[in-house]
């Protein structure tokens, strides 16, 4: 009886609630339905995440339920997507109130997040491709929601072309894989016996299609333009992009990990993602538009997530995708309240005391990195992770302690540092326990991949230090202006004042 309730009733209830959420969103489109119904709609869409959470907590391994693949990995992604969708819709109740597309916005957002969550629960490759295509189409319509504004229409057109290309690459990879293995079920197509029938050239070609399919929605070089242009969309739309859409690359590659791991495509993905990390970081540092800074940061973070996939660290990539999605969507929702504090801070610390704190931070970083390295078991990603963790610990300690003014600020800094360390350990342990049985452990790439990434990290850090100390040099000016131009919108994607607002008011237009 327990098994029946756990594995049959709960998934059935979950999909029923998803269907009810979709009907609620469609019902809201009717002008006869009062706008106050949107609050009832928010209550309805809060039920599927609760069901997904219960399924995740009571999960006892992988279960196939019709065309669905239900395990801790798929339930976690569904919970993640639907939770961010719920938060964004609740935020938008007042944020977009009065907009003429108010009803359509909630309907599109509901459909987009539902299709997105269903995609990660799918075991049928055809269903996965359809749901992923519907998700990209929904996001395109959300970006161009203000169709009377030419700038929004142009941004939606750029996104549509990029998404269509990415979806086509995924569709071709899926069709090729299904025809070569004779199975449309993901679990069967990626079984060891069926993958053995693939030739080496077939694996390389399918994986190159997968690389193209993931770097486009992740806005990786040279496909970053769509995300930079999407800043014209309403802020909640920018936030919901992080619900398994812009960060879907790690999820797709994790689903296809048995096919992707151990091929030359990993090195290609590593190079593209490394370039994107440097480019996105540069855009974030030189632009003054806060949303454009967040977009640059997203490009860099998605590059790092795909680097994790290229190194076979799929659990780390999923952890990164989920935590980054929650964090970055929160920053977008808070972007309208950003206030820069330009008041000069008095530095009371003496150089000798600052040096002591910096040295202490360096020692803590070495100890943290050495601890990770000790348990690496000669895994390439763990070596890189040890370096990054050690550097992060050192920098965090330095910023919170070395440059803290007075005992009170240093005490607060120490509490923040300790709390962050505890939370990091708890989250890392929780995700590892949830995913270690259902996420494929990738084949380690060759040592040349680690050498390349170490070279990139050290070169990027050294270059940033050199540029910060030679701001008057011609080389600095060239890099600075190049990054400014790279992140700027095209002429047809910017308007000093939205002309359609004036035209609408002159015609006596209304906003509902």
Q: What is the pLDDT of residues 347-381, one digit of tens each?
A: 444 555 666 666 676 677 677 666 665 655 555 55
> Are 371 and 320 within one domain?
no
Would you state the pLDDT for residue 509?
Answer: 47
Widest distance between CA atoms in the chain:
74
Quick: pLDDT tens for 119-166: 999 999 999 999 999 999 999 999 988 877 788 888 889 999 999 999
* Overall average pLDDT of the 9-38 stretch: 89
Q: Which element (helix H / strand E) includes 53?
A: helix 47-57
Question: How far is the first Cα of the chain from the last one, in angstroms, to the nearest whole number?
Answer: 50
Domain shared by 244 and 269, yes or no: yes
Are both 171 and 309 inside the same structural domain? yes
Q: Are 181 and 119 within one domain?
A: no
Q: What tokens does 407 get?
A: 């005992």
Identify the bridge partners of residue 124 per DSSP, sorted by sequence position. Answer: 185
Query: What's phi and psi for 122, nearest 5 deg?
Result: -80, 135
pLDDT of 91 strictly over 80: yes
Burial label for 116, CB within 10 Å (0-12, 13-18, 19+), is buried
Residues 89 and 210 occupy one common structural domain: no
45/118 same-domain check? yes
Buried b vs exposed e over 295-331: b needs ≥16 C-beta within 10 Å? bbbbbbbbbbbbbbbbbbbbbbbbbbbbebbeebbeb
Q: Is residue 300 part of a domain?
A: yes
**Tally of structural domains, the chain:** 3
Residues 162 and 206 placed together within one structural domain of the fold: yes
- In-domain check, residue 284: yes
Residues 57 and 27 in one domain: yes
* 229, 156 Cβ separation under 8 angstroms: no
The answer to whether residue 161 sits within a structural domain is: yes
Report the 10 Å Cβ neighbour count for 489.
Answer: 18
Distance between CA atoms of 63 and 495, rounded to whole angstroms?
A: 52
State the number of CA atoms in the 13 A half-sphere of 279 facing the CB: 21
Closest among 385, 356, 358 to 370, alpha carbons compared: 385
Average pLDDT, the chain: 80
Number of other CB atoms surrounding residue 349 within 10 Å: 17
Rounded Cα distance between 424 and 466, Å, is 32
Residues 223 and 291 grouped into a single domain: yes
Boundaries of domain holding 405: 351-487
Higher pLDDT, 26 or 60: 26
134 in a structural domain: no
Note whether 173 and 210 are within 8 A (CB).
Answer: yes
Check residue 392 and give its pLDDT: 67
In a domain, 175, yes or no: yes
Is 346's pLDDT higher than 70?
no
User: Is the domain of 330 the same as that of 368?
Assistant: no
- Answer yes or no: do 261 and 408 share one domain: no
Domain presence at residue 281: yes
* pLDDT tier at 290, thresholds 50, 70, 90: confident
What pLDDT, on a 0 to 100 scale, did the predictor assign at position 511? 42
Is residue 502 a part of any domain in this protein?
no
Question: Whole-model pTM?
Answer: 0.85
Confidence of residue 3 (pLDDT cuts 50, 70, 90): very low
pLDDT of 178 above 50: yes
pLDDT in tens, 305-320: 898 888 888 888 888 8
The confidence score (pLDDT) of residue 345 equals: 47
Q: At what angle do helices 150-181 and 200-215 cross, to 10 degrees?
A: 160
The verdict on 377 and 476 lying in the same domain is yes
Q: Is residue 482 in a domain?
A: yes
């Amino acid at each position: 009886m327990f098994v029946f309730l756990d594995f049959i009733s709960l998934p059935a209830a979950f999909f029923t609630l998803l269907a009810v959420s979709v009907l609620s969103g469609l019902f809201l489109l009717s002008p006869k339905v009062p706008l106050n119904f949107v609050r009832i709609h928010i209550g309805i869409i809060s039920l599927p995440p609760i069901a997904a959470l219960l399924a995740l907590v009571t999960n006892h391994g992988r279960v196939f339920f019709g065309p669905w693949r239900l395990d801790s990995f798929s339930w976690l992604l569904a919970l993640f997507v639907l939770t961010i969708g719920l938060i964004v819709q609740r935020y938008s109740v007042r944020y977009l109130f009065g907009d003429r597309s108010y009803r359509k916005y909630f309907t599109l957002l509901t459909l987009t997040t539902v299709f997105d969550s269903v995609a990660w629960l799918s075991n049928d490759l055809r269903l996965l491709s359809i749901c992923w295509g519907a998700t990209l189409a929904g996001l395109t319509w959300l970006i161009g929601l203000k169709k009377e504004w030419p700038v929004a229409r142009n941004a939606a057109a750029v996104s549509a072309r990029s998404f269509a290309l990415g979806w086509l690459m995924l569709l071709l990879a899926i069709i090729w894989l299904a025809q070569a293995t004779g199975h449309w079920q993901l679990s069967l197509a990626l079984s060891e016996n069926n993958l053995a029938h693939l030739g080496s050239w077939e694996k390389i070609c399918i994986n190159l299609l997968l690389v193209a399919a993931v770097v486009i929605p992740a806005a990786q070089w040279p496909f970053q333009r769509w995300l930079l242009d999407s800043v014209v969309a309403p802020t909640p739309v920018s936030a919901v992009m992080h619900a398994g859409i812009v960060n879907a690359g790690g999820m797709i590659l994790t689903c296809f990990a048995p096919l992707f791991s151990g091929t030359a495509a990993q090195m290609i993905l590593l190079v593209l993602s490394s370039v994107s990390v440097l480019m996105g970081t540069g855009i974030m540092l030189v632009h003054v538009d806060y949303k454009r800074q967040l977009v640059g940061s997203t490009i860099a973070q998605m590059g790092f997530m795909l680097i994790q996939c290229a190194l076979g660290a799929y659990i780390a990539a999923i952890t990164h995708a989920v935590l980054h999605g929650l964090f970055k969507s929160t920053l977008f929702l808070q972007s309208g309240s950003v206030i820069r504090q330009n008041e000069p801070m008095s530095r009371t610390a003496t150089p000798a005391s600052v040096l002591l704190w910096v040295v202490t931070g360096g020692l803590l970083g070495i100890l943290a990195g050495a601890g990770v390295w000790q348990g690496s078991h000669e895994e390439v990603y763990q070596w890189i992770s040890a370096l990054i963790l050690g550097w992060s610990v050192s920098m965090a300690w330095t910023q919170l302690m070395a440059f803290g003014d007075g005992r009170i600020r240093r005490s607060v800094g120490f509490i923040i540092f300790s709390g962050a360390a505890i939370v990091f350990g708890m989250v890392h342990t929780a995700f590892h326990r949830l995913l270690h049985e259902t996420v494929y452990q990738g084949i380690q790439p060759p040592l040349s991949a680690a050498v390349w990434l170490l070279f990139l990290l050290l070169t990027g850090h050294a270059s940033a230090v050199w540029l910060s100390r030679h701001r008057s040099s011609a080389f600095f000016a060239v890099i600075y202006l190049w990054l400014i131009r790279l992140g700027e919108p095209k002429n047809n994607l910017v308007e000093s004042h939205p002309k359609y607002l004036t035209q609408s008011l002159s015609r006596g237009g209304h906003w509902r």
